[in-house]
Every structure is written in C-alpha cells, then in structure tokens.
Structure 1
Amino acid sequence: MKRLHHFAAASVVAASALLGLASAPVQATPVAIDVGGAQSINLQGEAGNTVWLIDVGANAVLNSLSWSLDLNAFAPSVLSEMQVSFGGSSGLDLLTFAPGGADFASGAGSYSGSLDLSPFGLSVGADGLLRLEFSEAYKDFALDVAEGEWLRGSLTFDVTASAVPEPGTAALVLLGLGLIGIRTRRAHAHAQTARRHVVG
C-alpha cells in the first residue's frame, strides 16, 4: 500500500511538471530588424519584391511593432504607397503597414512610432520564421522597377516565445507517466496475489 502511495505521489509530480511546462510564464523579447537598403518594387504578393525571413522562434507571438525609419519615394511615386507586410513564412494572414500612410509627397521622409499588435493575434508558424515583404500600394513604374527605398532605420517587434513545451520534453514526461502507471498496476496486482495467498 505504501508503494501505491509513492507511485501516486510521483504521478502527481510528473503531471504537475507537464502542466508547468505548458503554462510556464513566457518573456517578451524585442527583435530589431535593420531595414536599410530594402526596396519597394511591385504590388504586395507579386514576384520581384524584397522578401526577408527572420527567425524569431517557433510559434512566436507578435505583440507590438515600433519603428524609426527614413524612406525615399521616387517621383511620381509617393511615400504613402511604400509598405511592408509581415506575418508567418507561408505568406498567409499578413498585416500590411505603411509608415508614411498620410504623406502623399515624393522624396524623403522620416517616421517613428509604435503599434499594438495584440488585437490581431498574429504569430509565426512552427518554423519560427517571420516574413517581411516590402511592396507598393500603387504601381507607377514598369513591373520590377523600384519605386522607393527604405534608406535606413529599423522595425522592432516585441515577440513572446510559445509556451508549448518542446515535443521531446513532453514525450519524456508522458513516458514517465506511462511507466509510473505500469508500475502502479503491477504493484496492485502483486498485492492482490499476496492477499489471495494469505487468505488461501
């Protein structure tokens, strides 16, 4: 009976460890991306655009975006048309952001600010890759001709790592629970057999 209590206690500890892995507090990390030299070329989603893939961690959640940027729109294209779309590497469920959205002039412009992304529930996939695509909202020039350049500056994403435990860790804990269950059943069967021998 004492063994059964030990095994039961061990089961509770192992289960608690598994639950702790799944619900452990996660820490937000800023990921700053230097966008100097990126060009806005074609419409969003078209071939020929500048596309970057940044490793931010598997299933990471994007909490906020801040920026400090210098842009240059080549006339007759305007600064409000320069944009960047971001999200998972699949290219689906992207958010599109235009730093100079209210600036309808050609030439250079400087922009800074921040945006809360939490209402969008945006995260990257299991590959951990954040996709950035620089594009134009309106095409003024011929296809594949750049209409603007992101001269200097950065986009900084506040990223929260996934709280889901690594598959290997979860598997080890589950394996431990399985072994505890087997040993508990064996101990119980052994106790029943011993009891029958005593009675008989």
Structure 2
Amino acid sequence: MKKLHHLAAASVVASALLSLASAPAQATPFVVDVAGAKSVNLQGEAGNTVWFIDVGANAALNSLSWSIELDAFAPSALSEMQINFGESRGWGFVTFAPGRSSSASGVGSFSGSLNLSGLGLGLGSDGLLRLEFSEAYKDFATGVAEGEWLRGTLTFDYTVASAVPEPASAALALLGLGAIVGVRARRRVAPRRNG
C-alpha cells in the first residue's frame, strides 16, 4: 500500500513538471510600425510589401490593436487596403481592412482593436509572423501601388508555449521530488524472521 502511495506521489510530481514545461507564458506585446508599407496588388501576388517578424516559436496571437493613417490613391478606396497576417508559410492567416467602413479615396485615420484568441491563430516552430499589405480590389495596372500606409502602429498581444519552466517553479518541483526520494530512503525494511 505504501508503495502505491509513493508511486502516486511521484506521478503527481511528474505531471506537475510536464505541465510547467508546457504552460503558456504571457509575452510583452510587440508593436509594428507600418509607415511606408505599400498596398500594390491582390493578396498573394508579387509586388506587395511583405514583412516577417520573429515573435517566438509556437506563439499564439491573442489580440490586435491599431492606430494608423492610410492614403488610398484615387480611384482606389480606403476600404480596399488590407493586411494579411499569420504563420510564415501563408497558411492560417487573417485578412484585416482597417478602413473597411470608408469607400473614399485619400487620407483616413483608423484605430480600434480585435480579439484573436478564439481563432486559434498560432505561429509555427520558426516563430515568424508574416505580414502582407495588399488590395482587396485592383483598380490600377498590375505592379502599380494603390495605397500607402503613411504612419501608425499595429500592436499584437500574444502568448508563447514555455519550453522550460521558470527557475522558481522548477526549484519547487525538484524540492517535491527530493522529498519523495527522501521518504523512500528513510523507509526501513522490516527484518525477516526465521522460523
């Protein structure tokens, strides 16, 4: 019975160590300065501004907030300027048009936020976030810019799966494991009686 008790305690400690190793860690939000990005062609076509940002392996995007100023070159509209973001391979991405409510050309300012946590938007093992600035509708010839992201920022909040537990958590887990080993070492085997 005691042996089962010790095995159960060891199992609890092992489970705690595993959960510590895979627990998500809240990371400091990162900010992307969008100044100078151009929306040229439709999404996925050559000529668009594409950036890769190293966020961290297996990061999960939780939210996006923005405060930006766009310039849509007539006859292109502010609502057509968009950004696509997701993992580096271009799979599992979100298309976002900050000026979606404005059918006007020219300069417009936009701000707001978007909750991404329900989308399960994660980055791959390379940890790279791919940002592509594109157009929803092509008004000009291929390769001709239809708009420019004049100034402003995109702020992403994210979490990263922690591969290694924090030192204090690891120390507590090891202390618990040490206590189990100590109890086992102190346990004495009853002497056998002959006959």
TM-score greater than 0.5 by the shorter chain: yes
Q: Aligned partners of 2:117, 2:57: CA distance in 1, in Å? A: 18
Q: Aligned partners of 1:106, 1:156: CA distance in 2, in Å? A: 25
Q: Aligned partners of 2:94, 2:10: CA distance in 1, in Å? A: 47
Number of matched pairs: 172
Q: Does 1:73 align with 2:54?
A: no
RMSD of aligned residue pairs (Cα, Å): 2.9
Residue 94 (structure 1) shift:
1.1
Aligned equivalent of 2:55: 56
Residue 6 (structure 1) shift:
8.6
Aligned equivalent of 1:94: 93
Q: Aligned partners of 1:100, 1:15: CA distance in 2, in Å? A: 48
Aligned equivalent of 1:18: 18
Q: Aligned partners of 1:8, 1:121: CA distance in 2, in Å? A: 34
Aligned equivalent of 1:188: none
What letter corresponds to residue 39 of structure 2 in structure 1?
Answer: S
Q: Aligned partners of 2:6, 2:104: CA distance in 1, in Å? A: 74
Structure 1: any 5+ residue segments left out of the alignment? Answer: 167-190
Q: Aligned partners of 1:129, 1:7: CA distance in 2, in Å? A: 42
Residue 52 (structure 1) shift:
0.3
What letter corresponds to residue 130 of structure 1 in structure 2?
Answer: L
Residue 123 (structure 1) shift:
1.0
What letter corresponds to residue 147 of structure 1 in structure 2?
Answer: E
Q: Aligned partners of 2:13, 2:117: CA distance in 1, in Å? A: 34
Q: Aligned partners of 1:92, 1:98: CA distance in 2, in Å? A: 18
Q: 1:41 to 1:30 in 2, by over 3 A?
A: same
Is the CA contact 2:22–2:161 (under 8 Å) kept in the aligned structure 1? no
Aligned equivalent of 1:175: none
Q: Aligned partners of 2:37, 2:53: CA distance in 1, in Å? A: 14
What letter corresponds to residue 20 of structure 1 in structure 2?
Answer: L
Structure 2: any 5+ residue segments left out of the alignment? Answer: 165-188
Q: Aligned partners of 2:160, 2:81: CA distance in 1, in Å? A: 30
Q: Aligned partners of 1:63, 1:150: CA distance in 2, in Å? A: 23
Q: Aligned partners of 1:42, 1:7: CA distance in 2, in Å? A: 62
Q: Normalization by structure 1: what TM-score?
A: 0.75
SS at match of 1:159: strand
Q: Aligned partners of 2:17, 2:30: CA distance in 1, in Å? A: 30
Residue 16 (structure 1) shift:
3.1
- Offset from partner CA, 1:110-154 (integer Å, 9 cap, x none): 000001111211111110000000000000111111000000000
Identity of counterpart residues, as a percentage?
Answer: 67
Please give the residue correspondences for 1:40-51 in structure 2 after superposition, counting only pairs within 5 Å.
40-51=39-50
Residue 34 (structure 1) shift:
0.3
Q: Normalization by structure 2: what TM-score?
A: 0.77
SS at match of 2:29: strand
Aligned equivalent of 2:177: none
Aligned equivalent of 2:113: 114
Aligned equivalent of 1:170: none
Residue 7 (structure 1) shift:
9.3
Residue 29 (structure 1) shift:
2.4
Aligned equivalent of 2:124: 125
